[in-house]
């Protein structure tokens, strides 16, 4: 299978080098299955949801850290010098 794919790629490159055109191929293998069953969109949605979750987690941590930094600054200002 891999050898056939490599041979097709080499053949396509040679066709392009000689000025020919390559016919468009439709989806094959897993890609065809994912598109037929609309699973590709489900995978894309899951990946998007994961990235949104990571972004929300990072924003939440950023706010917590900012709140802690403000609390530490306030504590340092309230402490008497030399203490």
Spatial separation of the C-alpha atoms in residues 28 and 1, rounded to whole Å: 12
Q: Model confidence over 5-55: pLDDT tens digits?
A: 766 776 666 666 666 666 677 777 777 877 777 888 888 999 999 999 999
List CB contacts of 16: < 8 A, sequence separation 6 or more: 22
Whether residue 42 is contained in a domain is answered as yes
Whether residue 32 is contained in a domain is answered as yes
How confident is the model at residue 18, as a pLDDT?
67
Residue numbers of the domain that contains 33: 28-77
Whether residue 61 is contained in a domain is answered as yes
Q: Is residue 26 classed as helix, strand or coil in its secondary structure?
A: coil
Q: What is the largest CA-CA distance in the chain?
A: 83
Name the domain count of the chain.
Answer: 1
Whether residue 10 is contained in a domain is answered as no
Helices and strands, number each (H, E), in the chain = 3, 0
Whether residue 68 is contained in a domain is answered as yes
């Amino acid at each position: 299978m891999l050898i056939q794919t490599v041979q097709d790629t080499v053949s396509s490159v040679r066709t392009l080098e000689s000025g020919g055109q390559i016919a468009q191929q439709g989806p094959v293998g897993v890609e065809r299955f994912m598109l037929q069953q609309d699973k590709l969109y489900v995978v894309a949605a899951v990946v998007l949801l994961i990235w949104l979750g990571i972004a929300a987690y990072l924003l939440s941590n950023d706010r917590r850290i900012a709140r802690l930094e403000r609390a530490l600054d306030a504590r340092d200002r309230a402490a008497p010098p030399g203490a």
